[in-house]
Structures are given as C-alpha cells and as structure tokens.
Structure 1
Amino acid sequence: MKKLSKELCRSLEFRLFHTLLALKGILMVLAIVLVLSSEEISTVKPCELEEVLVSLSVSNTLPCKYDAIKNESTCIRNWGISLPVLILLTFLLILNFIWIPKYNGISIFIRFAGIIVVGVLAVLYAGIMIYFYEKVLDYKEKQMDTNYVEIKTSMIARLQESYSSDNVTSGGAISNSWNRFFIEYDCCAINQVKGTTNDFDSTPWCTTAGTCQSTASQIPKTCCNYVSEDDYGSAPNTCHSSVSPGTFKYNCMIPIKSLSVVHIEEWQVSLLRITLLTIGTLEITEFIIEGMLLSLYICCIRKKVWPE
C-alpha cells in the first residue's frame, strides 16, 4: 500500500507537470499574439487631427477614435514582451523536474520554491492582463466617434478670438498657425465662404486692425487658390478682395475630417481584448494547478509516502 501511494504521488505530480507544460505552450502562442497585436496598434499612423488642433490652440479631448487604446498599447506590448521570456524559463524548469526526478531534501525544497515563485508570477501577470483588459474595454465603451460639431464650434470660437492678420509671420503665434493651416491643408475658414460675409467678419483682423478692417480684403490672402508661403502676398484681388467664386478654397472642415481617419480597425481592438482576457484566465488556471502541486507535496510528505 505504501509503494502504491508513492507511485500515486509520482504519477499525480507528472500529470500536473504535463498539464502545466501544455498550458505554457498555449500561453506562449497567446503571448506572441499579444505582442504582435499591441505592436501593430502602437505603430499605426498617428491621428494628425490632435496635432493640428493643438497648433491652432483648439481644445478637444481625444479627437480621434481609439487614441486612448493606441497610447495604452505601448505599455501592453512591453509587458507582453516579458511574458514569453517568463514562460520559457518556467517551461525549462518544469522539464528539469520531469527529466531529473531526484527526490531528496534539496530537490523537494527546489520544487517548493520553484512552484511558489512561478505561482506568484502567474498571479501577478493574471492581474496585469485583466487590468489592461478592463482598461481597453472601458476605453472602447466610452470612446465615441469624433465629435465634429464640437470641433467646428471650438474652431470658429478660436478663429474669431485670435485671428489678427493674414500675414504668415506678422500676426500672433496662433494667427500665424491659422494662416499656415490654410496654406498647408488647402482650405479657408470653418464654414464655406460664399461671399464677403463669412467667418472672418468677427475676427480682430476685421474688427480691430488689419487689411480686412480697412476693407482691402474680405478673406485672407492665404485662403486663395494655388498660393504658398512664398507667394501668398501676391494673391489676386479677385480672390481676397472681391471674393469671386472659384478663386478661393473650400472650408477647413473637409481636411479636418480626413485628418481624423481611424487607422485602428475594430478587429484589432477585439483581438487585443480577447488575448488579454484569455491570458489572464489561463494564468489563474496555472496558479490553481500549481496550488494543487503544492498541496500534493504537503500531503505526500506528511503521510511519509513521498518517493525517495
């Protein structure tokens, strides 16, 4: 009976070890998927809209969809990179226990210590993966499509408050940014310009001082077609003074919408969430199996049936 008990202890230990090996193999595949998916999200083309709005001093929180997830993915990737290393070391440790089944005081201590350390790390990574899963889920649920109405309202308010000159360099910093924005993104004003009455009427450029206030211009020269920072000063009067149809650019909401294009696909976010949740769940499963191993050791040692 005693011999049978020793064989049973050894058999149960080997079965649990082999279960852990299979689990580690699955975790290795998932860890690689996690690293690749988070890396892909973190390196997508950044949303240019936020940078443009900042240059124009227009406040808007996360103007592009999934911006928060993109920012978080770098941290997820870094944790994901460490996971395969940990899995490989644990895998080799378990193989060592299986291939060299020496049962003495030192080997029992090494088994105990090794399983406890691995179990603690499993709990740690389970917590980290579930934490990131909940954050990504929270970001996804709270994330709304870009609010163009809010952006448009903020841009109009900022333009009317800070636009003071149609010169690229002589106005204030924000005014200069508006002029460069008109040239670089080939646009003019926020609402479509249809004549001499337009978005610039309430700006300091028209109400306080400037070529608009002196009626020499009705829209900025930077709004005229085919001008650059080098030649906008020679823009035709038919454009900036007479505002003749066909001589000026379309409204700036057109490039604003193109700048907010989402470069992160829905399936990428779903894959990241599923991988995080699965890894977290399997790490908890691993911890349970390692707890069973420790219980087996304690039980067999107390009954004095541990194989020698």
Structure 2
Amino acid sequence: MTANASPSPVLSAAALKAELSGPRPPVLLDVRWQLGGPNQRPAYEAGHLPGAVYVDLDAELAGPAGEGGRHPLPDPEEFGAVMRRAGVSADTPVVVYDGGQGWAAARAWWLLRWTGHAQVRVLDGGLAAWTDGGGPLLTEVTPVERGDFKPNPGAIGLLDADGAAALARTGLLLDARAGERYRGEVEPIDPVGGHIPGAVSAPTTENVGPDGLFLAADALRARFAELGADAAGAQVGVYCGSGVSGAHEVLALAAAGIPAALYAGSWSHWSADPARPVAVGSLPG
C-alpha cells in the first residue's frame, strides 16, 4: 500500500481562521462528546466556533446500540438528513471539531468520507487549539442555509466481523484501544477483554503529542511502518471499542498517506458473540 499526496485531513487552528475569512469558508460542525457522559449541547450553547452547528454523536452519528455494537453506523439516509440540516452540501468544504480529544470529530469525518463527501477535515486539537490560538467563541446560534448533501456509502473502506478476521490473517488489523484492553487485563465496557486474533496493538492515543495535536506526517508514517503499514505493506484495517476511537486511527493513517478500512462494530460487536475467538496477551495471537 503506497502513501499518497492527498491534502491532509487535519488542519491547524491558524489555517482554519484564514479559511473562515476567505472567499469559500467551510461549514463547521461541533461534535463535542463524552463517552458515558452528558450530552454536550449545553457546552456548545455556552460557547462555540462562529457559525458552527452542533451534531450529537450518540443520536446522529450512530444508530441505536444493540446487535451492531455500542455505536453502529447510522442509517445513511438519516445521516444525510442530519448533514443537510447542518448546511452540508456536496461541493462545500466541511471542518469538524470536538472538545480536543479528536475521537468524535474523527467519527464525523469518517462518516462523511464513507458516504462520499470529498472535502472534509478535522480541526487539529479541537476547541482547545482554537481558543489557545485566540479564536473567538460565540453563544448565539447562527441559522444556516440547508445543504444538498446526498450520501453515497462506500467511498472508503468498511469492514464487518468476517472481513476484520480475514484481514488480521492476510493483511494488518490494528487495535486502536488502550494496550491493557487489547491484552485483556481490563475491560470496563464490553462483555470480555482481549483482542481479535491476529490484530496488532496500536493505541490511537500514541498518534498525538502531549499538546493534543497529531504528530507530524513523517512521524506518523514512521510509527505505522514499525507496525507493518508501510509503502510495501498489506491492506490495513482498524477497530476499537465501538467505532469511534478507531475512526481517529483511520484519520491518523490518512494523515500519513495510508488508506485504511474501519471495522465499525469493533470490539463491542465482536465480543457480543461468544462464538467469536478472543486472544489475550501482548502478542497478536
């Protein structure tokens, strides 16, 4: 799999400021989210980037939890309706941000890319990077013009359980969760700890520096090459707990120029079926 020269899927706060004052400002989506925590709309209403529209990850970027996992993919047509209400059009650039961790923003980025939007990026460092750079926050909600985006799923790679299992044997399947969950030492959320046999531990938290910003593209390429994803490597897939932090790893791979598929159901889907094998320990198994 070769690296490409596509524009970076992340942009800095300074670059976003310039684009917002330019002739073709992007649509802004605020996707602040907290796993297991309260809805973040009150935080959005207390202060958001000028013109940003709030999108609820649990209600609008995922379907109902169940057999498909904790955050299964939303119905594409329902997702398209949400995006149109938010002002997203097919030919309009979109920038997504969250509170700073980047996982929720990456989920929105991945969904837009998977459904065919070609001009979507994530604000590197999220809201924190914006305010640290002196960017203003507004409390008023600015009405947006309805967009025309129509989803066309399949633009980037998506894996199901069988596809993830096969890729772990024939290519490279990365587990984006914390190492202790991969090893099966702890499992705070899902039925059982461990990992998909053959998967390689690659915590997505290691794709960012202490400042919360993504590592430089060269550093990301070096990291993924050590894990087996380089110019001469096999196809790459990613999973996590429920398809949110895994999207962040897919984003990091894209920033390194390496396309990757996402197992959207991830461990919450895999581990729900006791017939599926589970490996534990630090080795892929």
Larger CA Rg, structure 1 vs 2: 1
Structure with the higher helix share, 1 or 2: 1
Q: TM-score, normalised by structure 1?
A: 0.19
Q: TM-score, normalised by structure 2?
A: 0.20
